[in-house]
Amino acid sequence: MRSYTLIAPAKINLYLEIIGDRPDGYHELAMILQSIDLADQIDIKLSSPGGIRVYCNHPQVPRDKSNIAYLAAELMTTEFPTAFAKYGGVDITINKQIPVAAGLAGGSTNAAAVLVGIDLLWNLGLTQGELEELGATLGSDVPFCIGGGTAIATGRGEQLSPLPSLDGIYIVLAKYRSLEVSTPWAYKTYREKFSSSYVKDKDSLAARAAAVHSGDMVKAISHKDVKEIAQKLHNDLEKVVLPAYPKVLELREIFANAGVLGTMMSGSGPSVFAICDSKVQAEQVQSQVREIIADEDLELFVTQLTNHGIQIAS
Ligand code: C5P
């Protein structure tokens, strides 16, 4: 029975700017996305009885169609019915290490791994571009999660331009297990509060999206200037999430006072990361935060930025 083990890294947002509304109801974004070493492991194999089955070690992760990894497999069965008929269905086992509902693309990276895994199992020979196109129909972050690394993401988040690698920069990541932020809520609340400042005409939208390519963050990344990258971190969604979630704001403040190079919420939160100048500093900051917040509900990770998306482990 053929099977693959895939590594599916989480992502953080080094930059997230909300530019305006889109006709499809989503937002026009300018983001810089970054893969990190913290990853789930996905085992995927052909299943002789057919169908799709999802297993996961994490009690909060659903096994049915409400799991985007399941939807990714279902998409492949409808897109490639001949291969589905020839090879049968798939069993997917998710070993979850990435905190759920955290703004870290945990679900999206699982879906990306399923697309890559089924492409291999069914000998489809799809290109990365074809996999990204399929991924975009599942979620805005899925295309990025396939190739990973460091990239500018515009449009809904699916239009990608690769940037130089930031491999090896250390971060501390913090997330309260019991705290979840709904991404639709965060964007909806942002729209309610800030849509008066949205860019409205098409040309200005395109110009704002293009501006990120020559912006300060991209320059800092090109020079791998860690201090400058940490200074230029930006996330518009902090404007709605931090006031509504005081614990996230507190984490942000504790990190800033711990002398890190920079700190920011990732995506729609509630995870917060802090960029450090070394592994030693990251470990010290982790201990410092743990001393201040003894709450077992708070998960802390020391991890590093990485230059890859989905990888085949075996
Ligand atoms: O694409 P994805 O399923 O990850 O998006 C989750 C939610 O985030 C969407 O339903 C939408 O409310 C919001 N969103 C948005 N604009 C984007 C991406 C996401 O408004 N570009």
CATH assignment at residue 32? 3.30.230.10
270 in contact with ligand 1, CB cutoff 6 A: no
Same domain, 159 and 201: no
Same domain, 191 and 131: no
Query: Rounded mean pLDDT of 21-37?
Result: 97
183 in contact with ligand 1, CB cutoff 6 A: yes
What are residue 223's phi and psi, to 5 degrees? -90, 0
Q: pTM, whole model, 2 decimals? A: 0.97
What are residue 272's phi and psi, to 5 degrees? -125, 140
* pLDDT of 313 over the 90 cut: yes
73: Cβ contacts below 8 Å, ≥ 6 apart: 52, 54, 89, 90, 92, 114, 118
- Ligand 1 pocket, mutate which of 24, 26, 29 (most atoms under 8 A from CB): 26
* pLDDT of 137 over the 80 cut: yes
Same domain, 262 and 135: no
Both tokens of 61, joined, read 């992760």
Same domain, 204 and 247: yes
Cβ-contact 62, 133 below 8 angstroms: no
* pLDDT the model gives residue 2: 87
**C-alpha–C-alpha distance, residues 275 and 169, integer Å:** 8
Instruction: Provide the domain count of the chain.
Output: 2
Q: Cα 308 from chain centroid?
A: 13
Query: Rounded mean pLDDT of 236-252?
Result: 98
Q: Is 11 a catalytic residue?
A: yes
Q: Is residue 44 part of a domain?
A: yes
- Cα(298) to ligand 1 centroid in Å equals 26
**C-alpha–C-alpha distance, residues 287 and 290, integer Å:** 5
Same domain, 153 and 25: yes
Residue that is last in its domain, among 110, 141, 163? 163
- Mean pLDDT (the chain) is 96
Cβ-contact 131, 116 below 8 angstroms: yes
- The DSSP call for residue 214 is G
Cβ-contact 132, 160 below 8 angstroms: yes
Calculate Rg over the CA atoms of the chain: 19
Same domain, 65 and 119: yes
Atom 9 (ligand 1) nearest CA = 184
Atom 15 (ligand 1) nearest CA = 26
* Tens digit of each residue's pLDDT (9 = 90 or more) over 201-226: 989 999 998 999 999 999 999 999 99
Q: Is 227 a catalytic residue?
A: no
Q: Which atom of ligand 1 is nearest to the CA of 156?
A: 21
Q: Is residue 312 part of a domain?
A: no
Give the residue among 310, 312, 314, 313 at the shortest CA–CA distance from 147.
310
Residue that is last in its domain, among 163, 182, 202? 163
Residue 178 half-sphere exposure toward CB, CA atoms < 13 A = 4
* pLDDT of 292 over the 70 cut: yes
Q: How confident is the model at residue 50 (pLDDT cuts 50, 70, 90)?
A: confident
Residue 127: domain span: 3-163
Q: Is residue 211 part of a domain?
A: yes
Both tokens of 215, joined, read 């912006």
How many CB atoms are located within 10 Å of the residue 114 CB? 33
What are residue 138's phi and psi, to 5 degrees? -95, -40
* Tens digit of each residue's pLDDT (9 = 90 or more) over 152-197: 999 999 999 999 999 999 999 999 999 999 999 999 999 999 999 9
C-alpha pair distances (Å), 36 with each of 169, 217, 237 = 9, 18, 20
CATH of the domain at 207: 3.30.70.890
Q: How confident is the model at residue 1 (pLDDT cuts 50, 70, 90)?
A: low
